[in-house]
Amino acid sequence: MERKSSEEERKDRKSESTSEQTDYDPSRPNYHPVEHACWKQGQKVPYLAVARTFEKIEQDSGRLRNIETLSNLLRSVLLLSPDDLLCCVYLCLNQLGPAYLGMELGVGEMVLMKAVAQATGRQLDKIKSEAQEKGDLGLVAESSRSNQRMMFQPASLTAGGVFRKLKEIASMSGNSAMNKKIDIIKGLFVACRFSEARYIVRSLAGKLRIGLAEQSVLSALSQAVCLTPPGQGFPPAVIDAGKGMSAESRRAWIEEKNSLCCLSLVLLQCITLNEMPNYDVIIPVLLKEGIDQLPNHCKLTPGIPLRPMLAHPTKGVGEVMKRFDEAAFTCEYKYDGERAQIHILEGGEVRIFSRNQEDNTSKYPDIVSRIPKVKYDSVVSCVLDSEAVAWDREKKQIQPFQVLTTRKRKDVDASEIKVQVCVYAFDLLYLNGESLVRQPLCRRRALLRESFSEMEGEFQFARFIDSDNTDIIAEFLEQSVRDSCEGLMVKTLEKDATYEIAKRSHNWLKLKKDYLDGVGDTVDLCVIGAYLGKGKRTGTYGGFLLALLVDLCNNHGWGRQNKSLIHAENHSDALLMQVYLHG
């Protein structure tokens, strides 16, 4: 029998490896994280394994099954390639890093179409037409790549390699940046196999479209750690701590174990509740120290923003009284501005973050310069929750939110500021090395006033009253509207009065004029156009473009960003289909 050459043997091994990766199925029952993985211990995680996982999740609408599917992939990563866990988590979240670092790909749909056309040799017009027909450029890229034949197949993509390329694209700037981005994207496309092109395009476009929310990723990660503990070495002593159980019993066991050992709870507190919203910190601690050590290493830290606590809407004072019953509560003005989370670091540096954790420090140099003037010397470090509101210095009154939107968004020169702002502080989350989020609001508010002084028109405390008298609250609500505020924020003071990071809590209620029964303004809008739908709305309208006569609104802020200009998110699928079919 003729012996194969080393080159032929290499090709056979490569073909066998490709077949294994193509057949990879993390949704299979009784998944074994070593035997059923499509790569070996010490190898890099193939991007195809991630893509195949996304495929399975996209095909199944069951949340619990999808969590288990993703958990199986992560279990294999934990045992075989733990160094790739961070990039795999980021790929599942479709993020490049913490939100406050502001890393964005900045790749528009037209650029992606050009890259697909150039990489596959197809005409741009045909790419556009097919994308409009399918409503998903990712599917177009996948079909275009599968029909392309190549003399030499590039090296297979790895999860880490794809993630690094995405970060490289995000870091590019300058005149030639777009062409360089296209070149990198083309390089990725050329190396794509099977569904890889679909998910790379979707990642670049900013939407994976597989219904995988961060909460589900966290659940999958905590389940993976629960079943297959990290840091065991190889071969591992524990491959599946729930082995031998039925699927239903297994899920119940995981929930019980997570509850008893606080595994999932600790993880969610550290990440989802955002005392340390940085996977670059969380994942290494998870791998090296174990999940039980997360609270000791991942604490609230000035300079790293938290996701803010949010309020539930309510329709009247009566509902507030019913909700809080005998609990003590306070009523604060609800200022119509931009959420400003102000951090003072130990060295004296001041950082400002938005509600979405974006770094707004360069947007508000005026606020940065005034903070040292209003804090007492006892304050070494802290985190404030506040609202930045447009302020008229001559009239000494609050201006509409639309005025604030005209202010430059970044790299503002303090000498050129035309729209002045006043900071209204209403909460203190951290002070001199101590997290206050588990302290009641009455304590946090007292510390806030002991730590800062007011400066009219620049830094003031949110106006409030502590009363359970319906008439007094109703009058305070009317006064807030007369003072150019949106209404009131009603908050528990002592019982259930902790600061619930990243949560829309019933312990905070917002009482706005627009929410009250029989009250509120209406606006007449005219439909002047429609957007073709994408994804699940392919073949119908995705949303309407509505117009408003700006003179009726003093020419302030009635652009497409206004809440009154409703887009696809606010239209039901049934309404959009009805208008599309019948006009």
CA distance 547 to 549: 7
DSSP-derived secondary structure for 336-381: SSEEEEEEE-TTS-EEEE-TT--B-GGG-HHHHHHHHHHB-TT-SS
Q: Name the DSSP letter for residue 290.
A: -
What is the C-alpha to C-alpha distance for residues 283 and 321, in angstroms, rounded to an integer? 44
Q: Which of 44, 167, 207, 334 is catalytic?
A: 334
The pair phi, psi for residue 576, each rounded to 5°, is: -65, -40
- Note the maximum CA span of the chain: 99
Query: DSSP class of residue 46?
Result: B
Asked if residues 458 and 423 have their Cβ atoms less than 8 Å apart, the reply is: yes
Under 8 Å between Cβ of 251 and 71: no
CA angle 103, 109, 111 (to 5 degrees): 85
What is the rounded CA–CA span in Å between residue 100 and residue 303? 9
CB 491 within 8 A of CB 329: yes
The backbone torsions φ and ψ at residue 474, rounded to the nearest 5 degrees and listed phi first, read -60, -40
In terms of Cβ atoms closer than 10 Å to its own Cβ (0-12, 13-18, 19+), residue 60 is middle
Concatenating the DSSP letter of every residue in 384-416 gives EEEEEEEEETTTTEEPPHHHHTTS--SS--GGG
Residue closest to 299 by CA, chosen among 268, 275, 274: 275
Rounded distance, CA 253 to CA 227, Å?
Answer: 10
Residue 563 is a catalytic residue: no
Determine the Cα–Cα distance for residues 229 and 521; give it in Å rounded to an integer.
Answer: 56
Distances (CA, A) of 191 to 10, 86, 149, 154, 155: 19, 22, 12, 5, 7
User: Would the CA dihedral through 471, 473, 475, 478 be positive or negative?
Assistant: negative
Residue 484, helix vs strand vs coil? coil
Angle at which helix 85-93 crosses helix 47-59, to 10 degrees, equals 40
Query: How is residue 413 annotated by DSSP?
Result: -
The secondary structure of 140-167 as a DSSP string is HHHHHHHT---SSPPPPPBHHHHHHHHH
The one-letter amino acid at 41: Q
How many of the other CB atoms lie within 10 Å of CB of 64? 12
Phi, psi angles (nearest 5°) of residue 527: -75, 120
Measured between alpha carbons, how far is 282 from 18 in angstroms, rounded to an integer? 33
Q: Which helix (H) or strand (E) holds 253?
A: helix 247-261
φ/ψ of 556, rounded to 5, equals -110, 115
Provide the annotated active-site residues: 334
